Amino acid sequence: MDFNIISIKMFKAAISDTRSWRNSVEAIAALIDEGTLQIEKDGLKLRAMDPSQIALVDFELPASAFDKYKVEKSTSIGIDFPELSKITRRSKAEDKIELSLEENRLKMVFTGETNRRFNLAIIESTSSPPKEPSVDFTAEVKVGANILKEALKDAELVSNHVAILADDGFSITAQGDTGSAEIKFPAENIMSLTAKEKSRSVFALDQLNNILKASDQASIIILKLKTDAPLRLEYAIGDGRVVYYLAPRIEST
């Protein structure tokens, strides 16, 4: 069976799911510019804040996601993720991908119809991963990625921010200078909903769109809410997962 090869000094792995690898890189690059990728014995991990310090991404791709995975010693490398994403997006489903670390460069070889070689400079990383926010959430909603994305497109017609509300139902509203929009999710289109109390917060639409960028139509989105508190949004990417925290927008009174 064809598979992609990842080899970084003391790290060797093989993954056959090219799409998940590409989406994993996209999930990170959608939010941050530079980050420290931790290569651990149990998998790949990253936690970093976006440049505006409004959002946090917490990413994990376990060793079980790989066909082969071996780490002799844990290590961390600083990566420019938008640049990595540009290269990774050029991979094709049938390509074999080889990665290695050579002289402070991440070397990538795509083998398919043609053999393509790329080198990406490794960035010196001095910051430690930020702590995960501690929030006593009061509501949790599970909904399909496609229906959530469509709701945000509707809201975007009238505003650049939305209010997300969960109580005995789930809805998204938007209020702009020229009009308003309200999108209610019927119970049959919500996979699960639990609410200890009414929970409502306002968030920037561009950040929400970036957060959902790497999800596909089959993705299940888990949202956790608390009034005027950060949103926690999670979905799976293959065998991996990505969790985002997004700070709420302060409404003027």
Q: What is the mean pLDDT of the chain?
A: 89
Calculate the alpha carbon distances from 18 to 21, 95, 119, 253 in Å.
5, 8, 19, 48
The whole-angstrom separation of Cα 151 and Cα 147 is: 6
**pTM listed for this prediction:** 0.90
Output the pLDDT for position 253.
47
- Mean pLDDT (whole number) for 115-140: 88
* Angle of the 81-88 helix axis to the 18-29 helix axis, nearest 10: 150
Q: How confident is the model at residue 5 (pLDDT cuts 50, 70, 90)?
A: low
Tracing tokens 């910051």 back to the chain, one arrives at: 127
Is 202 a residue whose pLDDT tops 80?
yes
Q: Mean pLDDT over residues 221-247, rounded?
A: 96
Assign 3-class secondary structure to 138-169. CEEEEEEHHHHHHHHHHHHCCCCEEEEEECCC
Grade residue 100 by pLDDT with cuts at 50, 70 and 90.
Answer: confident
- pLDDT at position 129: 84
Chain centroid to CA 61: 11
Q: Does the structure show a pLDDT above 70 at 50?
A: yes
Task: Tell me which residue of 186, 231, 232, 238 sits closest to 216, measured CA to CA.
Answer: 238
Residue 124 pLDDT > 60, yes or no?
Answer: yes
Interval 63-74 mean pLDDT = 84
Q: What is the chain's length?
A: 253
**Of the given ranges (121-135, 189-203, 227-241), which has the lowest mean pLDDT?**
121-135
Share of the chain above pLDDT 70, in %: 94
Residue 22's φ and ψ, nearest 5 degrees, are: -65, -45
Task: Find the helix or strand (DSSP H, E) in which 241 lies.
Answer: strand 240-246
pLDDT higher than 60, residue 135: yes
Q: Which domains does the chain have, with CATH numbers?
A: 4-121 (3.70.10.10), 139-246 (3.70.10.10)
Question: Model confidence over 30-44: pLDDT tens digits?
Answer: 999 999 999 899 999
